[in-house]
């Protein structure tokens, strides 16, 4: 704590800036760590991308000298540290390099794929939140005990559903048997429905699970009893007092959920033949296209970090006590 | 610009196909299809329509001269033409852009006479100069043109005495070159395309002289082709002479086999280029036409690394050739694949049936091993000087028959240990020269594939010393007479199997399927799809 800060008496605004700054430093560290770890993992894997590029399905018949020249072009003949240094220096200057497989700029590939994944992930997140919230509210307000326990058990079932299986099932019903939606591609909102639903179902289940539990915890708190004694209606109590308090764990989870959605996009985009970051990552890993994998890792880490940052900065809006306590803890 | 073309195409078929299909009852649908099926045989080809084709993977690079996976080759074939074409039935080389040719000086010198009037899609003429620029460009590209550059290995010079004559001179005999000119790896691109960077070409900046032009390419998503209205120089094998019947082709990348199949059954796509064995039954039951053809070239085989002590004597190699019950493999293969009957697939020119040499003979195998000092151990695996007869195989291909081969070899006392891995790792292992056994197939519609793979002074897949087979292979490259070349190839195949340099297993087949309204789609000699004569029944 600095003298100025002590004199200024830790105003909330100052706390927030300090807190944001420290979080940004942390975020940069996370980005660097993600970049480095993925680089090392890719390096440890045997073989190199040039060999894979020249062996598409059939075995290569090319002159080893020419292969060596290509490897040199991509600095693949340099020692690990030199390769890492070159890549990191480029990345710091926001140059993510060129894909070894396709020769495209990695940044351009990410820019091309990102909107599709963003649309998918945001739709899925919105659907998951609405569905999860609805289910949790239904479970908490159900009068019938059996219905309530059934509704409370439903999310556990949803969490268990593998994305892959849900996707294929939805396709079978709503595209192949009853041709309501297109089975593939990124052609407008219509092609977004099934993949977003596939991705949203397990996420919604998680949201419902957490919210259900936290709702029943808040309903049991003494302040609720006091407010009810004052004559507040159950509905008013729920929406103005219980729900805002109960959503804080869900907000905390949103950051994690975003990560899950990004990870789930690999499977969903493959099943629904969609363009996107997930497909890009899957393809790049398969052919060991290091610059592309690195680019995806950095982008995913950046999104993850940014969402968590926003979530953290949003806490005070729901509960002003949080900033002061956190900032104190960090100072 | 590219985007707008894409969106128009989507509107025409993509968005409405499911809804349109929804309107028709299932029974009506079946009846209508049955009628269409019978009507189609006598029907006249119709112009128009966009064909939707499901590909199983991202093409990565659409330049046909650069290393392509199968999906890329299926796109590249439609936008480029070649000097010659190869008849898939006979294997004969027939005219395409070249109307005639001759080879001289023991296949060192090839002269092609080009047809008049062919142009690239950018309007530039397809003349001798353009051919020279293409072939010189391939040599310069080196490793990036991993197939085409080997076809041109040993190129001395290319002369263009007049705009319609190209003379290609090699330093050594090169009998395979004529067939190579029919492949899409040597498909011709406009000079403006050649001036572009290799990366730009990969990304879709390729202009050829083919019946279609590439209008858009989005990775992991789609490639869209549009018909050239002024096209009129198809291969002499084509069924018609003017522009293609289809207005366009939309390749959709659908990695999941179940989704490809469902999309085909629900008419969201018209063609699936890759049908998995488990999906064949459903398609056949519903009467969907299956397109299947064995891939020409080297069949799926084991290639022993003869520099290792295990294989030093030919006995173990010969025993393994005899110890595999190939007809039994058929039970677990797709109905369109077959057990190998030679080191070459049946669709390869100069194929000779070697079933006799590949006959299952477990007793003969056991005797060979016993005579070589391998005696049965307690667990049924043979041993010699305390060493078990264990062969390790690391492979990446999605094949199901290796486990059965493993069981069969166990019966003659050979312990085949299988390790399924990924392509990158297998290649890395191979490059160390320590892998006891390699396993792969190679698609090439010319028997020269044997020379490419086995020649001791070349790739030498067996890491072996020169032998009689090398002389035979070298002679085959210089043979002028087809009959002479055939005899030499047959002799080489015989020697390769007899000494166990190649242990043939299974002939790979390319299996695709189409909707019942798709006609005139067929494979070329290399088992890649050719869409020029394809038409849609309305």
Q: Is the pLDDT of residue B194 over 70?
A: yes
Q: Is B266 on the interface with A (CB under 8 A)?
A: yes
Interface test with A, best of B150, B153, B259, B431 (most A CBs within 10 A): B259
Residues A194, A180: Cα–Cα separation, whole Å:
10
Note whether B424 contacts A274, CB cutoff 8 Å: no
Lowest mean pLDDT among A76-85, B56-65, B198-207, B329-338: A76-85
Question: Which residues 289-328 of B have a C-beta within 8 angstroms of A?
Answer: none
Note whether B18 contacts A175, CB cutoff 8 Å: yes
Q: What is the mean pLDDT of chain A?
A: 82
pLDDT category at B3 given cuts 50, 70, 90 is: very low
Residue-level pLDDT at B16: 40
> Strand, coil or helix: what is B314?
helix
Residue-level pLDDT at A99: 86
- Compute the nearest-CA separation of B104 from chain A (Å): 26
Nearest-by-CA chain B residue for A113: B219
Question: Which residues 184-203 of B have a C-beta within 8 angstroms of A?
Answer: 197-200, 202-203
pLDDT category at B11 given cuts 50, 70, 90 is: very low
pLDDT category at B297 given cuts 50, 70, 90 is: very high
- Compute the nearest-CA separation of B190 from chain A (Å): 21
Note whether B17 contacts A270, CB cutoff 8 Å: no
For the residues A157-170, what does the mean pLDDT come to? 87
Q: Is B24 on the interface with A (CB under 8 A)?
A: no
Note whether A102 contacts B202, CB cutoff 8 Å: yes
Question: Which residues 51-90 of B have a C-beta within 8 angstroms of A?
Answer: 58, 60-61, 67-70, 72
> Strand, coil or helix: what is B437?
strand
Nearest-by-CA chain A residue for B15: A182
Lowest mean pLDDT among A289-293, B52-56, B317-321, B438-442: A289-293
pLDDT category at B212 given cuts 50, 70, 90 is: very high
Note whether A59 contacts B440, CB cutoff 8 Å: yes
Nearest-by-CA chain A residue for B69: A56
The structure tokens 């032998």 sit at B467
pLDDT category at B32 given cuts 50, 70, 90 is: very low
Task: Summarize pLDDT for A214-237 with one digit per residue, the tens.
Answer: 988 888 889 888 998 888 888 888
Note whether B200 contacts A103, CB cutoff 8 Å: yes
Among B519, B448, B460, B453, smallest CA distance to B485 is for B448
Give the pairing of strands B297-304 and B222-227.
Answer: unpaired
Q: What are the respective helix, strand and coil percentages of chain B, to the nearest 5?
A: 35, 25, 40
Note whether A187 contacts B14, CB cutoff 8 Å: yes
Residues A173, A170: Cα–Cα separation, whole Å:
5
Among B135, B133, B115, smallest CA distance to B177 is for B135
pLDDT category at A13 given cuts 50, 70, 90 is: low
Give B-chain residues touching A54 at CB under 8 angstroms.
67, 143, 146
Residues B309, B306: Cα–Cα separation, whole Å:
7
Q: Is the pLDDT of residue A7 over 70?
A: no
Q: Is B423 on the interface with A (CB under 8 A)?
A: yes
Nearest-by-CA chain B residue for A268: B256
DSSP calls for A154-174: HHHHHHHS-HHHHHHHHHIII
Residue-level pLDDT at A72: 81
Q: Within 13 Å and on the Cβ side, how many CA atoms surround B133?
A: 16
Residues A78, A72: Cα–Cα separation, whole Å:
8
Interface test with A, best of B18, B445, B462 (most A CBs within 10 A): B18
Specify the long-range contacts of residues B401-406, CB closer than 8 Å, at least 24 apart.
B401/B329, B401/B332, B401/B333, B401/B505, B401/B506, B402/B439, B404/B328, B404/B329, B404/B332, B405/B324, B405/B329, B405/B505
Nearest-by-CA chain A residue for B21: A179
Residue-level pLDDT at B65: 92
DSSP calls for A84-143: HHHHHHHHHTT---B-TTT--BHHHHHHHHHHHHHHHHHHHHHHHHHHHHHHHHHHHH--
For the residues A251-263, what does the mean pLDDT come to? 85
Nearest to B221 among A175, A178, A275 (CB): A275
The secondary element (H helix, E strand) that includes residue B501 is none
First to last CA, chain A: 6
pLDDT category at A323 given cuts 50, 70, 90 is: low
Residues B492, B507: Cα–Cα separation, whole Å:
19
Give A-chain residues touching B18 at CB under 8 angstroms.
175, 179-182
Q: What is the distance of C-alpha B262 from the center of its chain?
A: 26
Give A-chain residues touching B440 at CB under 8 angstroms.
58-59
Cβ contacts of A237 within 8 Å, gap of 6 or more: A224, A227, A228
CB B12 within 8 A of CB B50: yes
Task: Summarize pLDDT for A96-143 with one digit per residue, the tens.
Answer: 888 887 778 899 999 999 999 999 999 999 999 999 999 988 888 888
Nearest to B21 among A51, A179, A270 (CB): A179
Instruction: Copy the structure tokens of residue B62.
Output: 């659409």
Q: Is the pLDDT of residue B36 over 60?
A: no
pLDDT category at B7 given cuts 50, 70, 90 is: very low
Dihedral sign computed on CA atoms, order A24, A26, A30, A36: positive
> Strand, coil or helix: what is B448?
coil
The structure tokens 């049936």 sit at B353
Q: Is the pLDDT of residue B465 over 80?
A: yes
Task: Summarize pLDDT for B78-110 with one digit per residue, the tens.
Answer: 999 999 999 999 999 999 999 999 999 889 999
CB B170 within 8 A of CB B108: yes
- pTM, 2 dp: 0.83
Give the pairing of strands B390-395 and B415-420.
Answer: parallel
> Strand, coil or helix: what is B500?
coil
Note whether B199 contacts A102, CB cutoff 8 Å: yes
Residue-level pLDDT at B18: 40
Residue-level pLDDT at B42: 56
Task: Summarize pLDDT for A31-87 with one digit per residue, the tens.
Answer: 899 989 988 888 777 767 777 776 654 445 566 677 777 778 777 788 888 888 888
Note whether A185 contacts B60, CB cutoff 8 Å: no
Nearest-by-CA chain A residue for B152: A62
Three-state SS annotation for B217-255: EECCCEEEEEECCCCCCCCCCCCCCCCCCCCEEEEEECC
Cβ contacts of A99 within 8 Å, gap of 6 or more: A105, A106, A109, A284, A289, A291, A292
Q: What is the mean pLDDT of chain B?
A: 89
Give A-chain residues touching B253 at CB under 8 angstroms.
273
Q: Is the pLDDT of residue A14 over 80?
A: no
User: Between these two residues, B300 and A257, which has the higher pLDDT value?
Assistant: B300
Q: What are phi and psi of B477, to 5 degrees?
A: -75, -20
Note whether A287 contacts B424, CB cutoff 8 Å: yes
Dihedral sign computed on CA atoms, order B472, B477, B481, B487: positive
Residue-level pLDDT at B391: 95
Residues B107, B175: Cα–Cα separation, whole Å:
5
Give B-chain residues touching A109 at CB under 8 angstroms.
219
Give A-chain residues touching B527 at CB under 8 angstroms.
none
Nearest to A175 among B67, B266, B425 (CB): B266
Give A-chain residues touching B142 at CB under 8 angstroms.
62-63, 66, 69
Residues A225, B84: Cα–Cα separation, whole Å:
88
For the residues B216-234, what does the mean pLDDT come to? 94
Residue-level pLDDT at A307: 86
Among A62, A58, A52, A213, smallest CA distance to B73 is for A58
Q: Is B220 on the interface with A (CB under 8 A)?
A: yes
Between CA B155 and CA B162, with CA B159 as vertex, the angle to 5 degrees is: 155
Q: What are phi and psi of B388, to 5 degrees?
A: -80, 155
The structure tokens 């070649």 sit at B82
Q: Is B522 on the interface with A (CB under 8 A)?
A: no
Q: What is the distance of C-alpha A329 from the center of its chain?
A: 27
Dihedral sign computed on CA atoms, order B167, B168, B172, B175: negative
């Amino acid at each position: 704590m600095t003298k100025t800060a002590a004199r200024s008496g830790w105003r909330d605004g100052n706390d927030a800036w300090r807190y944001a700054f420290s979080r940004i430093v942390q975020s940069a560290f996370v980005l660097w760590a993600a970049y480095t770890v993925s680089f090392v993992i890719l390096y440890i894997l045997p073989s190199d991308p040039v060999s894979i590029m020249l062996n598409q399905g059939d075995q290569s018949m090319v002159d080893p000298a020419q292969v060596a020249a290509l490897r040199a072009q991509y600095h693949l003949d340099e020692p690990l540290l030199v390769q890492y240094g070159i890549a990191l220096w480029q990345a710091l200057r926001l140059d993510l390099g060129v894909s070894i497989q396709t020769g495209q700029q990695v940044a351009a590939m990410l820019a091309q794929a990102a909107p599709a994944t963003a649309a998918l992930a945001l739709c899925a997140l919105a659907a998951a939140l609405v569905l999860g919230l609805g289910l949790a509210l239904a479970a908490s307000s159900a009068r019938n005990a059996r219905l309530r326990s059934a509704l409370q058990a439903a999310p556990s079932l949803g969490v268990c559903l593998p994305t892959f299986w849900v996707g294929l099932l939805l396709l079978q019903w709503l595209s192949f048997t009853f041709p309501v939606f297109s089975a593939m591609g990124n052609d407008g909102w219509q092609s977004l429905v099934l993949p977003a639903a596939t991705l949203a179902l397990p996420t919604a289940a998680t949201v419902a699970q957490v919210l259900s539990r936290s709702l029943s915890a808040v309903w049991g708190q003494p302040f609720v009893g006091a407010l009810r004694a004052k004559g507040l209606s159950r509905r008013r109590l729920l929406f103005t007092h219980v729900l805002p308090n109960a959503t804080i764990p869900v907000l905390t989870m949103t950051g994690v959920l975003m990560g899950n959605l990004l990870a789930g996009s690999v499977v969903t985009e493959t099943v629904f033949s969609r363009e996107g970051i997930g497909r890009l990552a899957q393809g790049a890993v398969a052919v060991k296209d290091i610059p592309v994998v690195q680019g995806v890792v950095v982008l995913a880490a950046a999104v993850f970090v940014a969402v968590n940052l926003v979530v953290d900065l949003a806490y005070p809006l729901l509960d002003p006590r949080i900033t002061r306590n956190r900032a104190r803890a960090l100072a | 610009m590219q985007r707008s073309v894409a969106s128009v195409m989507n509107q025409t078929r993509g968005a409405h196909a499911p809804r349109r299909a929804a309107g028709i009852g299932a029974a009506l649908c079946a009846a209508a299809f049955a009628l269409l099926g019978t009507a189609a045989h006598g029907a006249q080809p119709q112009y128009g329509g966009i064909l939707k084709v499901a590909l199983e993977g991202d093409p990565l690079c659409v330049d046909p001269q650069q290393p392509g996976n199968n999906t890329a080759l299926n796109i590249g074939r439609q936008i480029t033409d070649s000097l010659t074409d190869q008849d898939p039935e006979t294997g004969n080389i027939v005219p395409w852009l070249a109307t005639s040719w001759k080879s001289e000086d023991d296949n060192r010198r090839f002269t092609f006479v080009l047809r008049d009037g062919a142009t690239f899609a950018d309007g530039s003429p397809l003349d001798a100069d353009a051919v020279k620029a293409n072939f010189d460009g391939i040599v310069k590209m080196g490793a990036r043109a991993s197939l085409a550059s080997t076809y041109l290995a040993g190129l001395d010079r290319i002369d263009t005495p007049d705009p319609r004559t190209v003379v290609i001179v090699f330093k050594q005999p090169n009998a395979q070159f004529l067939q190579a000119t029919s492949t899409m790896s040597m498909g011709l691109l406009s000079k403006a395309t050649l001036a572009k960077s290799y990366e730009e070409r990969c990304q879709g900046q390729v202009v050829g002289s083919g019946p279609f032009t590439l209008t858009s390419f989005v990775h992991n998503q789609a490639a869209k082709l549009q018909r050239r209205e002024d096209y009129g120089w198809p291969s002499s094998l084509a069924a018609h002479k003017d522009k293609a019947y289809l207005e366009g082709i939309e390749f959709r990348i659908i990695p999941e086999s179940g989704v490809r199949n469902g999309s085909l059954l629900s008419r969201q796509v018209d063609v699936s280029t890759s049908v998995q064995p488990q999906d064949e039954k459903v398609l056949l039951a519903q009467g969907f036409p299956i397109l299947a053809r064995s891939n020409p070239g080297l069949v799926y085989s084991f290639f022993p690394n003869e520099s290792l002590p295990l294989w030093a004597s030919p006995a173990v190699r010969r025993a393994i050739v005899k110890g595999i019950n190939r007809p039994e493999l058929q039970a677990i293969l797709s109905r369109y694949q077959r057990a190998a009957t030679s080191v070459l697939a049946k669709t390869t020119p100069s194929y000779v049936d070697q079933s006799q040499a590949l006959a299952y003979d477990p007793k003969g195998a056991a005797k060979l091993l016993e005579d070589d000092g391998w005696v049965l151990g307690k667990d049924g695996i043979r041993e010699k000087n305390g060493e078990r007869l264990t062969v390790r195989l690391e492979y990446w291909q999605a094949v199901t028959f290796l486990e059965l081969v493993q069981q069969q070899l166990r019966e003659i006392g050979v312990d085949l240990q299988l390790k399924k891995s990924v392509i990158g790792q297998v290649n890395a292992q191979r490059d160390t020269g320590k892998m006891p056994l390699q396993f792969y197939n190679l698609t090439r519609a010319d028997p020269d594939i044997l020379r490419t793979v086995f020649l001791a002074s070349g790739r030498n897949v067996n890491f072996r010393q020169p032998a009689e087979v090398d002389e035979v292979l070298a002679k085959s490259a210089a043979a002028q007479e087809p009959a002479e070349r055939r005899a030499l190839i047959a002799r080489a195949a015989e020697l390769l199997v007899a000494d166990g340099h190649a242990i043939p297993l299974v002939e790979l087949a390319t299996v695709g399927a189409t909707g019942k309204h798709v006609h005139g789609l067929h494979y070329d000699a290399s088992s890649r799809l050719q869409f020029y004569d394809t038409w849609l029944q309305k």
